[in-house]
Copies of this chain bind each other. A is one copy, B any other.
Amino acid sequence: MSKLLGKSIVGFSRSQSDEPFTQAVNPATNEPLEPQYFTAAGDEVARALDLAEKAFPIYSSLPAAKRVEFLRRIAELIEQAGDAIAERGVQETGLPEARMRGETGRTTGQLRLFAALIEEGSWVDARVEIAQPDRQPLPKPDLRSMKRPLGPVVVFCASNFPLAFSVAGGDTASALAAGCPVLVKAHHSHPGVAEIVGNCVEQAARDTGMPEGVFSLLYGGGRSVGVAMVEAPAVQAVGFTGSRSGGTALMQAAAGRKQPIPVYAEMSAVNPVVLLPEALTERGEAIAEGMLTSLTMGVGQFCTNPGLIFMPDSAAPAFKEKLSSLVAEAGCGVMLNAGIAKAFRESTAAIEKIPGVKKLAAADDAGGNCASPAVFSVSVETFLSTPDLQAEMFGPATLIVEGSMEQIEQAIAGLEGQLVGTIHGTEAEIKQYTSLVKTLEGRSGRLVFNGFPTGVDVCHAMVHGGPYPATSDGRSSSVGTMAIDRFCRPVAWQGFPDSELPQELQDANPLSIWRLVDGERSRESL
């Protein structure tokens, strides 16, 4: 790999700023990693915004085939940088190499999925209404509509996914696919991986003839660089994955603009798991084994981590006993950075102090930036009367809530919005507890039956979203092809000459896409 420079990528050039921003730290050793990273200067941020604004009309007017080339070239270059990413990623995050390789594959897979989506083309939801000049009482005009990109998008890298939710992650891939230039704000925890991937995107933009400004990568503080970009008039949408405080700050900044803009913030969730009695009797130990894997995957640093487990207090003890013994023996994992490790220690210490909460088990604390997996329990009565027990403990800790099924349904009805709601039961039980399932549906973006919430497949049907505060906007998904809709708006053309319409709306349907023609789905020409 080429030497890391520590500099922001502003269009096709590098920042000249010498104001220090951050230096990465290996969380396993607390040793700083070279090089020093510098904050983008104010005029450099302004230049990145200006380039993005100028790039938008050019980039958004390119044929989809050109954007396909760009996305595929990014994927190729990231693959070529796989060794460098794995090496630096392990140093910066404490995560194992296999995870880095896997996440790199997921990231290039996402880029190629969006390339395939826009190559096929039907995602634009093209609608054609043919003129009826003789319609009574009024003639019907020729009217055609499709989705068009919103404009420049700011993407914030996530701490917990240095690749799949960062520089060229799902937000960037879906925004670029839609036709929006992207300005990425790097995360201070993994600036080196960001630079390696940023170089790939910039190189791909040059290789495929994209306009300068289609992509920039900025280093700097949340206030001086991040919020400044969200408040810039050129920016038309925001993608964010992180804390609730960070996400709500961006929502407020966006709502306070002269022109408010959409913010897609994925924030916090505890992802309730409901264990029904017969399932617990039939396979309590097996559920406990699956739960441990889900709970400790990525050292518990997944937004879909199972942080809350509801079960009847009359259930057989196998599940609790098995989960407790597995947790007690579980290894400690290095967390992403010292701040996250500290916050995890604090949140598990805090929950233990709440009256009525019992610590069932915890692994020995290996110290440093390690997280010690832990499982707590509490009665549903205490849960219902203690709103703090809904708070996310970001890391490998979970809270078992026990009570009657009636009380459990009441507790679920009182939950905030969640990314995932999970149920374990027999087929007879899921038919029996329809009201509970319905209640859980109302709180969740995705429902899982007899599985675990972690593991978010990147496909057409995935919904990685959910009611507030799981996300700022439950009407969307940040994973899978649905994510492209976030960066678009519909535009209609009335009475236009065929040659002046976008190809997607022309009579001949030259791209052979699926369209809604007078209300009927068709991929024919008119």
Contacts and interface: CB of A to CB of B under 8 A. Distances in A.
A273 to B, nearest CB: 13
B129 A260 contact: no
Interface string A451-466: 1000101011111010
Interface stretch (A337-345, A349-357, A368-376, A467-475): A467-475
Contact of A446 (B416, B427, B459, B492): B492
A219 interface: no
Interface string A109-120: 000000000001
A236 to B, nearest CB: 8
Nearest to A123: B516
Interface string A95-108: 00000001000000
Given A441-B491, A482-B490, 8 more contacts: A57-B438, A57-B442, A61-B438, A129-B461, A138-B455, A252-B255, A460-B518, A463-B491
Interface string A488-502: 111111111101100
A417 B473 CA distance: 22
Interface of A: 57, 61, 102, 120, 122, 127-129, 137-138, 140-141, 143-145, 148, 150-151, 251-252, 255, 259-260, 262, 416-417, 427, 430-431, 434, 437-439, 441-442, 444-451, 455, 457, 459-463, 465, 467-469, 472-477, 482, 488-497, 499-500, 514, 516, 518-519, 521
11 contacts: A129-B457, A129-B462, A150-B474, A255-B255, A444-B491, A445-B492, A446-B492, A446-B493, A448-B495, A449-B497, A514-B521
Contacts of A57: 438-439, 442
Nearest to A422: B494
A489 B475 contact: yes
A450 B493 CA distance: 11
Contacts of A489: 445, 465, 467, 474-476
B145 A494 contact: no
Contact of A259 (B141, B430, B468): B468
B494 A451 contact: yes
Contacts of A448: 494-495
B460 A129 contact: yes
Those 6 A-B pairs whose CB atoms lie nearest each other, nearest first:
A127-B461, A463-B492, A446-B492, A145-B461, A129-B461, A448-B494
A474 B463 CA distance: 22
Contact of A519 (B460, B463, B500): B460
A313 to B, nearest CB: 26
Looking at A259, A451, A492, the one whose CB has the most chain B CB atoms below 10 A away is A492
A462 B437 CA distance: 37
A408 to B, nearest CB: 17
A436 to B, nearest CB: 12
Contacts of A492: 445-447, 461-463
A185 to B, nearest CB: 22
A122 B521 contact: yes
A449 B138 contact: no
Contacts of A442: 57, 151
Contacts of A145: 461-463, 482
Nearest to A461: B127
A500 B437 contact: yes
Contacts of A455: 138, 141
A128 B255 contact: no
A491 B446 contact: yes
Given A260-B468, A469-B259, A140 B495 contact: no
Contact of A447 (B427, B467, B493): B493
A128 B499 CA distance: 36
A141 B451 contact: yes
Contacts of A449: 493-497, 500
A102 B138 CA distance: 10
Contacts of A128: 461
B259 A251 contact: no
